[in-house]
Structure 1
Amino acid sequence: METFNLFHDATDVGPDGSEPEGYLCRAARLGPKLGASRLGMSVYDLPPGEAICPYHFEWTDEEWLVVVTGRPTLRTPEGEHRLEPGDVACFPAGPDGAHYVRNDDEAPARVAMVSTKNEFGIAEYPDSDKVGVWAGDAHYMLRRSGHLDYWEGER
């Protein structure tokens, strides 16, 4: 049986050069490593000034945040909250679950994100007017305001 220690094991996925400044963190994707099929977990090491990903919410998955070390800042629809080790937050599917995690502290932070897993995913990014769609190997990032009529282009 595979295990991963939240406090001591290393993150093994680093920035690949496509991320802008402010999103340079390392991660460990635990679902595949541990043989999970219905839940996913990623552990993120956040240097000072860095965030996991832009402010967003999922339409298809519920996500949970667990603060392992450090004091990251959590932004939700209610505002910003400074967290501490041991804090847990749940982000339900839909707009009420919007979230953004960044490290405003001078010390590194480690957090874990747990989520349900589906064959497809849909996420909205309210600050940048984007919608992301994932299905198998397909991935689309679209403008939310670019709505088309169902019948457009059909004969």
Structure 2
Amino acid sequence: MPKIDLDAIEPALGCSYPAPYDQPLARRTARDVGAAGGLTDFVAIHVVLPPGCWSSQRHWHEGEDELVAVLSGEAVLIDDHGRRPMKAGDVATFPKNDGNGHYLINESDRDCILIGVSLPERSLVHYPDIDLLWSPETGETHVDGTPY
């Protein structure tokens, strides 16, 4: 497969979280480079976080490992172990079902570009700081299972 042309992939702006949980991600752009290249075994997403933007709400997956690599700029990884700066070339991994909620926030004054890799979501995703649970059967619900 030839080199992926990022400009040829329509970026998705923001996220699908219900309000008000979508606000910290409103300016985030994501491009599914894996799908654009014909990949089907795993997901690879190219993400741009403008200053002040979050990668996601703090979350963890029951059944999917995740890997995030910072390509340029910098962000702060926030998880159950605290805050750690990440810069271009840094990689973070999140084993499935470890219960360690995580996300990145761009606290710098320039864009942070990263790539995230995982399996397609097929299990519960937990959001420990907010009233949100994602399931492959129901999508986003309140933690008690009632729909948004």
TM-score when scaled to structure 2? 0.82
> How far apart are 1:30 and its partner, in Å?
1.5
**Structure 2 CA distance, aligned partners of 1:30 and 1:68?**
14
Q: How does 1:1-150 map to 2 (within 5 A)?
A: 1-4=1-4, 9-10=6-7, 12-15=10-13, 20-23=22-25, 24-117=27-120, 120-135=122-137, 139-144=138-143, 146=144
RMSD: 2.4
Contact 2:79–2:103 (CA under 8 A) maintained in structure 1:
yes
**Structure 2 CA distance, aligned partners of 1:72 and 1:143?**
29
Runs of 4+ in 1 over 4 A off after TM superposition: 16-19
The alignment-based identity, stated in percent, is 22
> How far apart are 1:129 and its partner, in Å?
3.3
Contact 1:12–1:26 (CA under 8 A) maintained in structure 2:
no
**In structure 2, do the counterparts of structure 1 residues 54 and 67 end up closer, same or farther at CA, with 3 Å as the change threshold?**
same
Task: Give the letter aligned to residue 15 of structure 1.
Answer: L
Please say which structure displays the higher CA radius of gyration. 1
Q: 5+ residue gaps in structure 1?
A: 148-155
Deviations 1:35-78 (A, max 9, x none): 11211100101100001210000112100000000111111110
**In structure 2, do the counterparts of structure 1 residues 123 and 16 end up closer, same or farther at CA, with 3 Å as the change threshold?**
closer
